[in-house]
Amino acid sequence: MTLYYEEWKEKQYACEECDWKGTGADCKYGLFHRKTFLEVYCPSCQGFLDLIVFPYKESCHKDLEKLTEEQRRVLLEQEEQMKLYLGKCLQSADQLPDLKDDDFILVWDQVEGETRITKGDMVIWSEPLAYEGFDRYEKIALLLKEKYGTRVKDLAPADSSLLFLYGDFASSIDYVKKVRKELFGVM
């Protein structure tokens, strides 16, 4: 997943479906989901290439001056909640436990209000559940890869997690597939 407008226009893309190569600026764009996730497609074969995430704060902060006292209070409250939420989210590979096994598969699971990363019966991480949590999926997958290297062979989404992981955004399925392929070689 790519952050920020300015960077992604210059990002190099190579389509795996056909031979097309080019920059983000030359790609074809699809849905701009919840004004947060922009779909990026190959202009030649229409294959899925990427999702660009437009940060929540960008849009909120530019008109701060124009807000009423009430609107500003609400905004600050939202930011406080976001900070609390992020404080409970996995941010660093150091927060993960050491695992001794050679090769293993981890599961992305959902239990009540939590996303849980499990290995067999062991919960190795849990954090608050996020609707359309596929950007958390990628972030956590990257940290798992950083911590366990090639020993971790997959972060397999459990059936019970799919509704919240994908939400009602079809491209999230392609995106998770792409992350699993790139990080763990899962076809």
- Summarize as ranges the residues that interact with Zn ion (CB under 5 A): 15, 17-18, 20, 42, 44-45, 47
What one-character DSSP code corresponds to residue 35?
T
Q: Which residue has the tokens 């959902």?
A: 110
CB atoms within 10 A of CB 122: 10
CB of 163 to Zn ion, least distance (A): 30
Q: What is the CA radius of gyration of the chain?
A: 18
Q: Minimum distance from CB of 42 to Zn ion (Å)? A: 3
Nearer to Zn ion among residue 31 and residue 45 (C-beta) = 45
Tell me whether residue 22 or residue 167 sits nearer to Zn ion (CB atom): 22
Give Cα 78 to chain centroid, integer Å.
20
The minimum distance between CB 14 and Zn ion, in angstroms, equals 9
| Of residues 49 and 52, the one with the C-beta less far from Zn ion | 49
**Cα distance between the two ends of the chain:** 19
